[in-house]
Amino acid sequence: MNFLYNENSKNKIKATKANGKYIYIENKKLLDLSYASGSLLLGHTSAIYKKSLNTLKSVGSNYSLINTYVEKFSVILKKIFPEYSKFIMCATGTESNMKALRIARAITNKKKIVMVSGSWHGSVDELLYTSNDKKCKKTKNLSSGLFNNKNTIVIPYNDFYNSKKILDNYKKQIAILIIEPIQQSLPFQSSEDYVKLIYNYCKKNNILICFDEMITGMRLKEYSTYKKIKLSPDILTFGKIFGGGVPIGIIGIKKNIERQLNKKNNYVFFGGTYSLNPFSSYLGINTINYILKNKKKIYSKLDVLSERLSTQLNKFIDINNLDLKIFRYSSILRIVYTNKNIKNKLEKEFAEKNKIKKINKFKKYVYDNGIFLSKNGAIFLSYQNSKKDIAYVLKIFKSGFIKFLSS
């Protein structure tokens, strides 16, 4: 019995602990291919995590004040992301996206927010929308309790022609466009071209743009998608890996945004009891410093393992003429249950809708054989993973493909 009412609280799958590359569901040991939705680049309870917790016993958990740890963290962030003049610490990724919208509305005095179909920006009311049609003519709520979507505009991911048609109708009213440059729902390289087009459109039309890099921040060897594709959005939000295993959200703002915020009439509230907590900052400092110090071996290992997994699975799919495809961007992977040429989440879901029973049987088979796939289907690897792990995943996935998805 429990008294929870969170998502999945009625689900029989309940985690009891995690260590290294394994998660324990009701004491069943499973190879984790989620790592808390990609948050744990170094794996569960890494040596850095354990060492930091020991030190934190004497540091304390929270002060609700500016402190030496958040200041030290900001110096590290500035070195990694020199294009950004200031950083705003938040308690979660949702909070950072919520405050990014607040900043944009404050300095533009405009109401409309543009988001991209298939993106996920946390539990922000203005961003809990998608669309049911390919051209995004109508928006769809992702939650009950949302009554004011007239200021949220949804554009289709990886479809610049139809995105531009929508943007042209509202470009004078838009406070900001927020985008996950690479979506975990469909992580593939060619999305970069769409992102560049959207970015250039925003710059040409004086629309602020925010990259939500919760997923990609520090997962790439370039540390972010914006650095990889050499763009520089006005606002950057990130979290997950930066918290070292505990909640965190961070906003990076460029100098032009800072100047606008410094104007007399532009007071924007950023407060929160845990927004400046030393706990996540201290863990973040140690985690990010470790990654920076060991970046070559960490990222080369992740690239080798993720490349092996995606390449060998796609080769197996081709040989056996299966209606599947593995998408990959860095160490973010996803099984797409169709080999049709799709370009966004909506097209993916449409192509998969008649295969739900088969997909669920495959996922159960994977689980029964000791591998944990998250409900949303994204696959993340960590530095804890080995060639032996990948060989085992290949074995189980291949047999599962043939058993449940070959016809």
pLDDT attached to residue 224: 97
Cβ atoms within 10 A of the Cβ of 254, count? 17
What order of strands is seen across the sheet that includes strand 378-380? Answer: 325-329, 332-336, 378-380
pLDDT the model gives residue 182: 96
* Residue 72 neighbours by CB distance under 10 Å: 16
As to burial, measured by CB atoms within 10 angstroms (0-12 exposed, 13-18 middle, 19+ buried), residue 196 is middle
Examine the pLDDT at 9 and tell me if it is beyond 70. Answer: no
Q: How far is CA 391 from CA 252, 312, 314, 371, 386, in A?
A: 39, 10, 14, 12, 9
Q: Considering only residues 348 and 202, tell me which one the structure prediction assigns the higher pLDDT.
A: 202
Q: Which two tokens stand for residue 157?
A: 């991911």
Q: How confident is the model at residue 45 (pLDDT cuts 50, 70, 90)?
A: very high
Q: Is pLDDT larger for residue 386 or for residue 148? A: 386
54-58, 63-67, 185-189, 206-210 — most confident range: 206-210
The H helix count followed by the E strand count for the chain is 13, 16
pLDDT digits (tens, 9 = 90+) for 145-169: 887 678 999 999 999 999 999 999 9
| Angle subtended at Cα 376 by Cα 362 and Cα 190, rounded to the nearest 5 degrees | 100
- The pLDDT of residue 130 is 85
pTM for this model (two decimals):
0.95
pLDDT tens-digit map of 333-377: 999 999 999 998 888 888 899 999 999 999 999 999 999 999 888
For residue 12, is pLDDT > 80? no
**CATH code matching the domain that covers 47-293, chosen among 1.20.140.10, 3.40.640.10, 3.30.1490.20, 3.40.50.10490:** 3.40.640.10
- Can you give the pLDDT at residue 1? 58
Q: What is the pLDDT of residue 148?
A: 67
pLDDT grade, residue 14 (50/70/90)?
Answer: confident
Q: Is 295 helix (H, G, I), strand (E, B) or coil?
A: helix
Query: What value does the mean pLDDT take over residues 35-60?
Result: 92
Using the predicted structure, report yes or no on whether residue 249 has a pLDDT greater than 80. Answer: yes
Residue 142 has pLDDT above 90, yes or no: no
One-letter amino acid identity for 28?
K
Q: Find the range with the poorest average confidence among 43-57, 103-117, 292-306.
A: 43-57
Of 5-14, 253-262, 316-325, the poorest mean pLDDT is in 5-14
pLDDT at 37: 95
What integer best gives the mean pLDDT of the chain?
A: 93
Is residue 222 over pLDDT 70?
A: yes
Question: Pick the residue with more confidence: 55 or 296?
Answer: 296
- Quote the pLDDT of residue 128: 87
User: Where do the structural domains in the chain lie, given as residue ranges?
Assistant: 15-46+294-405, 47-293
pLDDT for 3? 78
Task: Work out the percent of the chain whose per-residue pLDDT is above 70.
Answer: 98
Q: What is the pLDDT of residues 95-141, one digit of tens each?
A: 999 999 999 999 999 999 999 999 999 999 899 888 877 778 778 88
Contact 216, 192 (CB under 8 A): no
pLDDT band of 72, cuts 50, 70, 90: very high
Can you state the angle between helices 356-368 and 387-405, rounded to 10 degrees?
Answer: 140
Residue 268 has pLDDT above 70, yes or no: yes
Return the number of other C-beta atoms located less than 10 Å from residue 354's C-beta.
10
User: Which pLDDT band holds residue 21 (cuts at 50, 70, 90)?
Assistant: very high
CB 109 within 8 A of CB 121: no
Predicted confidence band of residue 176 (pLDDT cuts 50, 70, 90): very high
Band (pLDDT 50/70/90 cuts) for residue 10 is low
Max Cα distance, the chain (Å):
66
pLDDT per residue as tens digits for the range 78-88: 999 999 999 99
Supply the pLDDT for residue 119.
92
pLDDT surpassing 70 at residue 91: yes
pLDDT tens, position by position, 368-381: 999 999 988 899 99
Both tokens assigned to 372:
């944990």
Q: Mean per-residue pLDDT for 186-190?
A: 91
Which listed CATH number (3.40.50.300, 3.90.78.10, 3.90.1150.10, 3.40.640.10) goes with 15-46+294-405?
3.90.1150.10
